[in-house]
Amino acid sequence: MHRPRRLASGFWLAPLVALACAPRHEPAAAAPAASCPAGDSTLVHEVVYFGRNRPGGGTVSDAEWQTFLDEVVTPRFPRGFSVVEAIGQWQGQSGTVERERSKILTLLHGGSEADRRAVAELAAEYKRRFSQEAVLREQTPTCARFE
C-alpha cells in the first residue's frame, strides 16, 4: 500500500487541529480494514497530538512530558511507540490562535476495544494532568511488518 509521507515541520498540523476544534459531530463510521499482503499485520496507525502550552501561561516541561510517557503511555503500550517534537497552531474555544511546542505520539495497535480505550485514557489523563482543552487523535487502518 502506498502512503504519502508527512512533513515533519509541523506546518500541516494546523488544519488537523482546526478540525479538532470544529463543532462536534457524530463519529464517522469505522474505516474499512486495510487489505494487507501476506506477512504484513493489519493494524491501526494512531497519531495523538499533545500541545504543551498551559492555560494561564507556562508549558509542559520536558521532565513532565517524560514522566507522562513513563507513567501513562508506556504501561499502556509497552511494545513501543514513537514521539516527534513539533510546532503546532490551533484555535481553541477562546478564539485565540495559539502557536505551541507539541509532541506527536505515533502508535500501532491491533484496534481492539482495549487498545482504543487505552488511547482514550492517555488523552484524558494528559488533559487532566496539564489542564488541556483538547488532545487530537487520528486513526488510519494500515499494514505493517518488521523487516
List pLDDT tens digits, range 21-72.
443 434 444 555 668 999 999 999 999 999 999 988 999 999 999 999 999 9
**pTM for the structure as a whole:** 0.77
Domains of the chain: 40-144 (3.30.70.120)
Burial of 125 (0-12, 13-18, 19+ CB in 10 A): middle
List the grid coordinates of 77. 503500550
Query: How many C-beta atoms surround the C-beta of residue 67 within 10 A?
Result: 13
Predicted local distance difference test score (pLDDT) of residue 56: 86
Higher pLDDT, 7 or 93: 93
Q: Could you report the per-residue pLDDT of 74-107, keeping only the tens digit for each?
A: 999 999 999 999 999 999 888 989 899 999 999 9
For 27-111, strand residue ranges (E) read 41-51, 82-91, 97-109
Predicted local distance difference test score (pLDDT) of residue 127: 98
Residues paired with residue 136 on neighbouring β-strands, in sequence order: 49
Predicted local distance difference test score (pLDDT) of residue 92: 86
Q: Cα(72)–Cα(109) distance, rounded to whole angstroms?
A: 16
